[in-house]
Structure 1
Amino acid sequence: MFDDIKGKRALVTGACGVIGRWIAETLHEAGAVLALTDARADELEAFATSLGLSGDSFTKVADLTDEASIKALAAEIGTRWGAVDILVNNAGIYPSGFLLDTSTEEFDRIFSVNLRAPFILTREIATQMVRKGVKGSIINISSGASRKIRRTVVPYCTSKTALDRLTKGFGVELAEFGIRVNALEPGFAAGSKVSDLTEAHIQSTISQIPLGRPSSREDVGNGLLYLASSASAYATGATLTIDGGNSIGSLAVHQDKKNPL
């Protein structure tokens, strides 16, 4: 069903994160040529080696809080490939803290990675795609938090709300060039080294997910392949949520549980 991914050129940001690794592995197994980027040089090279990347695939360290670094990444793409077929804006950070305790610098850092970087990179990469006549797919990794405010991560939630609007904006403006822009909302996946979560937090979150489990690589991968391939040829500006129902409600009860019948 996703055979048209083979040979496509795909750029994935935040490749060393949990979701980023799943995305990169999925695209690699589908036969895509990969450009992987992350701020962590040693982990990036180790991951690329574990995948066995070869041929036209490559890695490049990039600091997504620095516009010059993002532009250098795009320039590398232009030099090596001319343009990508698939861009996955996956990198994101999820620091925790109450609003009254959040510094302006921390607020700006969250928006820099989660919103500003996807804007700059999409602008640069889409310009290349337009010039080369590539009718490709851009996928922003969002979150159900864009619609469901959560205590202690309000800046993150707000950044994802803005990313959803940016997705639709790029979708409208790039449609005439045959470039589709959509958002994928994966489910909860613990294990991030950038945004560390306690075991108590992890278990509490999983316990509230309606379908009763965290996200898997297959969950994320299947959604990603759908949006990256011609299977979603008529979808742009859309959001695909695959989160076990986590963003639609909670299993928390505030009274003694009653029998369902």
Structure 2
Amino acid sequence: MEFGTQFQGQGVVVTGALGLFGRGIAKAFAAAGAKVCVTDMDQAALEELVTELGAEGSFARACELTSADDMDNLVAVVGDAWGAPDILINNAGIYPSGFLLDMDTSDWDRIMDVNLRAPFHLSRGFALQMINAGKTGSFVNISSGAARKMRRTVVPYCVSKTALDRLTKGFAVELAEFGIRVNALEPGFAAGSSVSALSEEHVSRAIRGIPLGRSTSMDDIGPAVLYLSSREASYVTGTTLSVDGGNSAGTLDVFQDKKTPL
């Protein structure tokens, strides 16, 4: 899908911009003519990413997503730079592994803070800023198939993504009158996270079960995020788009002796 020049000069905020998907999303918007505020934990790495983007008006701002003050400062900095953004991508998320019986409450709180509280806090802050500036726009929350299927050892992550889907619908309903659309996108399986390293055996087993036979790439996610943020999706709000090669529909894993059709 071609989006022409409709993102030219638009301001896009991307959280978790140093991650696998965040970096790709930022690059997709920059390539489409947008200016991007990239935010994550490492200011120096973020500034390097801004240089890579090469998009005029883009800038880096480190932000700790467990800190309300940090998030408020991020909103204020974006407001000073652009008046208000046009698009917010709540991409940041953490995926620690562990059994519920072994988990400290502080670990639970951090997962909920980053994966759920931060999207609420930033969506509220930027929505108010956009409304005051008379801007319409789009928010996209990066969700997961874990929102619909519980996974052993990552229960808090699953809970946070289920709640994020509901938060997406809630904001979609409440912000519709102001011309702000809110949707979620579920990427499929992708190895390469610096936060959660996966073994080669785990990766190959996961890919074997995907109906379309491969992992998710930014060639899949970039256009999907651009679509949800574009005027072509002007009648789309409160929905979740799965871009996962059919993985949410079913798996190719079989347990019978007969392994092939026909």
Residue 72 of structure 2 aligns with an amino acid whose one-letter code is: K
Deviations 1:2-25 (A, max 9, x none): 121121110000000000011001
Question: Residues of 1 paired with 2:128 and 2:145: CA distance?
Answer: 29
Kept in 1: contact 2:33–2:55 (CA 8 A):
no
Deviations 1:48-72 (A, max 9, x none): 2222243x21110000011110110
What pairs up with 1:1-261 in 2 under 5 angstroms? Answer: 1-3=2-4, 4-54=6-56, 56-261=57-262
Question: Residues of 2 paired with 1:46 and 1:58: CA distance?
Answer: 10
Residue 27 of structure 1 aligns with an amino acid whose one-letter code is: F
Question: Residues of 1 paired with 2:69 and 2:107: CA distance?
Answer: 21
Kept in 2: contact 1:13–1:90 (CA 8 A):
yes
Higher relative contact order (CA 8 A, sep 6+): 1
Residue 146 of structure 1 aligns with an amino acid whose one-letter code is: A
* Pairwise CA distance, 1:44: 1.4
* Pairwise CA distance, 1:239: 0.8
Question: Residues of 2 paired with 1:39 and 1:144: CA distance?
Answer: 26
Residue 97 of structure 1 aligns with an amino acid whose one-letter code is: G
Kept in 2: contact 1:138–1:228 (CA 8 A):
yes
Question: Residues of 2 paired with 1:173 and 1:216: CA distance?
Answer: 33
Question: Residues of 1 paired with 2:37 and 2:251: CA distance?
Answer: 38
Seq. identity, %:
58
* Pairwise CA distance, 1:258: 4.5
Question: Residues of 2 paired with 1:103 and 1:200: CA distance?
Answer: 29
Residue 52 of structure 1 aligns with an amino acid whose one-letter code is: G
Comparing 166-175 with 213-222, greater Cα deviation is found at: 213-222
TM-score, normalised to structure 1, is 0.96
Kept in 2: contact 1:12–1:87 (CA 8 A):
yes
Residue 37 of structure 2 aligns with an amino acid whose one-letter code is: A
Kept in 2: contact 1:28–1:34 (CA 8 A):
yes
SS of the residue aligned with 2:29? helix
Which 5+ residue runs of structure 2 have no aligned equivalent?
none
* Pairwise CA distance, 1:99: 1.9
Question: Residues of 2 paired with 1:259 and 1:15: CA distance?
Answer: 41
Deviations 1:134-180 (A, max 9, x none): 11000001111111112221111111000000000000000000100
Which 5+ residue runs of structure 1 have no aligned equivalent?
none
* Pairwise CA distance, 1:257: 2.6
Question: Residues of 2 paired with 1:158 and 1:195: CA distance?
Answer: 18
Question: Residues of 2 paired with 1:5 and 1:52: CA distance?
Answer: 15
After superposing on structure 2, the runs of 4+ consecutive aligned residues of structure 1 that deviate more than 6 Å are none
TM-score, normalised to structure 2, is 0.96
Residue 133 of structure 2 aligns with an amino acid whose one-letter code is: K
Give the length in aligned residue pairs.
260
* Pairwise CA distance, 1:230: 0.2
Deviations 1:74-103 (A, max 9, x none): 010111111000000000011111222222
* Pairwise CA distance, 1:128: 0.4
Residue 226 of structure 2 aligns with an amino acid whose one-letter code is: L
Residue 182 of structure 2 aligns with an amino acid whose one-letter code is: V
